[in-house]
Chain A
Amino acid sequence: MAATEKKQAVYLCEGCGISDAISLDELEQAVTGEMRVPLCRRIDACCGEDGLAQIKKDIDKGEVTQAIIAACSPRVMCEEFDALGAQVIRANLREQVIWSQPAGDENTQMLATDHVRMAVAKAAKTEKPAAHGPGASSMKLLVVGGGVTGLSAAREASKTGADVVLVEKTGELGGWAGKWSKHIPYASPYRGLQENPLPDLIKEVMGDKAITVKTNTTVARTEGGPGEFAVQLQNGKGDEWDVFGAIVVATGWRPYDTAKLEPLGYGSSPHIVTDIEFEDILSAGLSKKTKKKKSLDVVAFVIPGGADRMPYSSGVSDRVAIKQALQVVEAVPGAMVYVIYEDLRAHGTAEEFYREAQEAGVVFQKGEVISISSDLTVTVRDDLLGGEVPMSGIDMVVISTGMVPNSTDIDREPSQSGADQLKDDIDPRVPITFSGKLVNGGNGAEPDKAADDDEPALPGGPILNLQYRQGPHIPILANGFADSHYICFPYETRRTGIYTCGPVRRAMTVGEARQDAQGAVLKAIQAMRAADESLAVHPRSGDLSYPKINHDICTKCRRCTVECPFGAIDEDPDGRPHINFSRCRRCGTCMGACPVRTITFDNYNPQMVADMIGAVEVPDEFAEKPRILVLACENDAYPALDMAGINRRQLSPYLRIIPVRCLGSVTMLWISTALEKGFDGVMLMGCKSGDDYQCHFIKGSGIAEERMSSVGETLKSMMLEEDRVVMEEVSIADSVRAPQVLNEFADKIGAMPPNPFKGF
């Protein structure tokens, strides 16, 4: 593998109290002796000016190509060491040895030596990564959707110097929000009604030379990846192809289905309307037109609860009710305006808006709305009122509805059957399918979408019509909203280079949508720049390594294609996996999936970690020193353990912790190597999977969980207890819990008989 001969050196750091807690003499002997690394230096403080200079001297002289630095955590001092020029391999002696173990202990010394052994073994199987080739360099942005979100996105992108094409399905810009006369406050002091910002925004966009607006246009097909999306745009006149660096999807929302409000009473009178219908009445002007038909002396805004409400709520419709109530009070002097609610969600600055409405005389009446009759009697139930109270004498009832995300284009025919959709990787809660068959329930979620194979799970057709092996849709999460990581990276869609923003990913107001557009545009620009330099985007931003497939060994089993969380792998006409590098996030899930282990990264591969495991010295069964392998996700679990060390929380000395890119990258080889080597237990530590996942690669930890579900059988066939191999979910904030979990596991393993494979 190595193009040039590897020359290794181990640098043992004496700083940060390392030389006080462990014997560096012994360690040095082990390095030059059993580890057979000829060059080992002890350095006062590796990160100090003198220390760095000493290491650099060796490298510059050509004596060292791989510097194994046994010092602090690989999470700190990265820039300093990377600047040395050689490939740097780190052994974490500080956070995970001396800060979490008693000084001068025999076990501490063994742990430190194992850390260096693992680093030396790693060095043998790692290369400094080189780029996969020239990057893809289109810096033009496609924005889909001409509502407030899309228009804002286009403007924000243009301000950074990007060229933008904005496509809008209808003939007009502005979307829903553009039609409305007044808006929920979007600027300080967040009190009164605000003017519609859309006319000005549209003017700005139309006057912007960097933005090309195409109305009556949809996206017919999308191919490629970041920096090189080939997009077929379609309008009445015909098709055209264009190349874009990234895509922002701002397709917005559509109203909630009014049929679902009929049981409540919608439809029984023309004077029972939805909030969206009431906007038209408001736009037409209240005092004149409507008053002629029907006086608006008493108006009730009803925010339904329970079954009538949508399965999710964001508080947007509550704020709309407040807004419309204020509009009535302002337009019809003396009117009596009620807002009837069970829960009023007016969070953040909306509290000010709520107060404004109260001061204007809007009456907020708490109670569950049981029914609305055709004579406009609203029956309300509340415990404080002691039962049901009919409120009658109302002139108009306005029912709050909600926003349904346009994560699909409902005007298009579904292009797939439900069964085909199920095979696609659309919904992270739906378990992985393999060859069209459900592998198992995965993530603990019921495969609810499988209920009827022919019934499409998503209404309508795809928006971008992605020509991806994993299907044409943008992946969704709960309730049809575009998938997004709710804490860390809200705009990422699992289709790299495609960012959703606005109400397609979360119900939001105009003010919120404008901010959201800014965020998504910044991510899109990052993605275009990264693609240009062949670099990974979030969360491994700047990573040059990429998965390589040895096609001579590949059996075309397609597991990598199916399990890649980002749809990065397609199949060529011969059925061989083809990786689209600019889509790839470098998570290694494909590597963990490959049964013949032929997917590798220059600096991360199955053999490398297997050799690291093999390098650990496992004492025999009489030593009563068990060994436990911990494969810790480097996004959350590993930093949490570092943090535990920083806080001097003690860890069991029997743990051997190896960071992994994602639990999805864990191959069964590592577990079997550990057990055959005599490790007594294995723990996988990663992020939360499921509906509210925190996995940085979305499906990685869920996939690992699924793969692990079959590990019990393997253990049984080896005559080993099933609970020797477990998986735990932790978050980055778990620096107290993570060590507890590990120590408890170590106690449990310690109480079991030793692994009988020891010593073989």
Chain B
Amino acid sequence: MTAPDAARKYDLGFARWVRDNVDGGDKLSMCMQCGVCSGSCPIGTQMDYGPRKLFMMIRAGMKEEVMTSNTMWSCTSCYRCVVRCPRGVPVTYILQDLAAKSVELGYANPNDNTRFSKSFWWSAKTWGRTDERLVTARYYFSFGLKEGMRRSLDNLKIAYCMIKAGRMHLGMPHKVKDKKGLQAILKKAAEIEQRESGS
């Protein structure tokens, strides 16, 4: 019998917190640990823990490990798990919101996944589109100037091939027509979020 690992941080209140604060968390009690979600997930093998295991860890109060895992960051939002879950657990929503919460609470700063997500989000909110060059560049240079240069040079050949194949364009970034409208939408969304989490 191994002694409980003191390095782990257990907090039984975590399950309640997830239930009360995470989008879809109130449905977590429906999970019957069948594993259909993890088995269906195309990224499952790349995740630290599949959704099923992550949910069990939430119930057991393994806050630290859940919040620092890459599971929610690896999710591609393909919704296979949601479609297949026999108990109607909104797996994808729960993972998405856990990702957001892990940033909010400072668990996920900064790591590979968050850096990429931030670059992605920067592009999306600035242009209303993702620009392969700018997202990648921003992501690379978030590691510092020197590391950014190194990564850029390392991938130059791939970039060249992509341009040749027409998978990456040159010139000005694509953008949405009504950038002002986009900004208004985002502002409104932020307001709603503020209001809901603040209440």
Residues of A within 8 A of B (CB): 298, 336, 338, 358-367, 370, 379-380, 382, 384-385, 387-394
Contact = CB atoms under 8 A, between A and B. Distances in A.
Given A336-B16, A362-B29, A367 B1 contact: no
Contact of A391 (B8, B12, B28): B12
Contacts of B154: none
Interface string B49-85: 0000100110111100000000000000000000000
Given A358-B29, A358-B32, A361-B19, A389 B4 contact: yes
A365 B60 CA distance: 7
21 contacts: A298-B12, A298-B16, A358-B29, A361-B19, A364-B32, A365-B59, A380-B60, A384-B56, A385-B60, A385-B62, A387-B5, A388-B1, A389-B8, A389-B60, A389-B61, A391-B12, A391-B61, A392-B10, A393-B11, A393-B13, A394-B12
Given A363-B59, A367-B60, A384-B53, 20 more contacts: A336-B13, A360-B29, A361-B26, A361-B29, A362-B29, A363-B28, A363-B29, A364-B32, A365-B60, A380-B60, A389-B4, A389-B8, A389-B10, A389-B60, A389-B62, A390-B10, A391-B60, A393-B11, A393-B61, A394-B12
Nearest to B17: A336
B150 interface: no
B199 interface: no
A365 B10 CA distance: 15
Given A358-B29, A362-B29, A365-B60, A388 B4 contact: yes
Contact of B15 (A336, A359, A387): A336
Interface size class of B (residues with CB under 8 A): 20 to 34
A393 B12 contact: yes
Report the 9 A-B pairs with minimum CB-CB distance, sorted nearest first: A393-B12, A336-B16, A389-B60, A365-B59, A358-B30, A390-B4, A361-B29, A363-B29, A358-B29
B87 interface: yes
B1 A358 contact: no
B2 interface: yes
Nearest to B26: A361
A249 B19 CA distance: 49
B33 interface: yes
Nearest to A357: B29
A364 B30 CA distance: 9
Contacts of B2: 387-388
Interface string B15-38: 110010000001011101100000
Nearest to A379: B4
Nearest to B10: A390
A336 B59 CA distance: 11
Secondary structure at chain A's binding surface: helix, strand, loop or mixed? strand
B98 to A, nearest CB: 17
A298 B5 CA distance: 23
Question: Which of B10, B53, B60 counts the most A-chain CB atoms under 10 A from its CB?
Answer: B60
B56 A366 contact: yes
A160 B29 CA distance: 47
Contacts of B13: 336, 393
Contacts of B1: 370, 388
Interface string B39-53: 000000000000001
B66 to A, nearest CB: 12
B56 A392 contact: no
Interface in B120-178: none
A618 B21 CA distance: 88
Contact of A385 (B15, B29, B32, B57): B57
Contacts of A358: 29-30, 32, 87
Given A363-B15, A366-B33, A370-B1, A391 B56 contact: no
Question: Which of A363, A382, A387, A392 counts the most B-chain CB atoms under 10 A from its CB?
Answer: A363
A353 to B, nearest CB: 14
A391 B13 CA distance: 10
Contacts of B5: 387
A174 to B, nearest CB: 34
A388 B2 CA distance: 7
A41 to B, nearest CB: 69
Contacts of A385: 56-57, 60, 62
Contacts of B87: 358
A365 B59 CA distance: 7
A379 B57 CA distance: 14
Question: Which of A360, A384, A388 counts the most B-chain CB atoms under 10 A from its CB?
Answer: A384
Contacts of A359: 29-30
Contacts of B33: 366
Contacts of B10: 389-392
A388 B60 CA distance: 10
A363 B62 CA distance: 15
B14 to A, nearest CB: 10
A367 B10 CA distance: 16
B86 to A, nearest CB: 11
A362 B28 CA distance: 10
A359 B27 CA distance: 8
Nearest to B58: A363
B122 to A, nearest CB: 37
A367 B33 CA distance: 12
A679 B80 CA distance: 71
Contacts of B26: 361
Nearest to B11: A393
A366 B32 CA distance: 9
Contacts of A336: 12-13, 15-16, 19
A363 B30 CA distance: 8
Contacts of A364: 29, 32
B12 A392 contact: yes
Contacts of B62: 385, 389
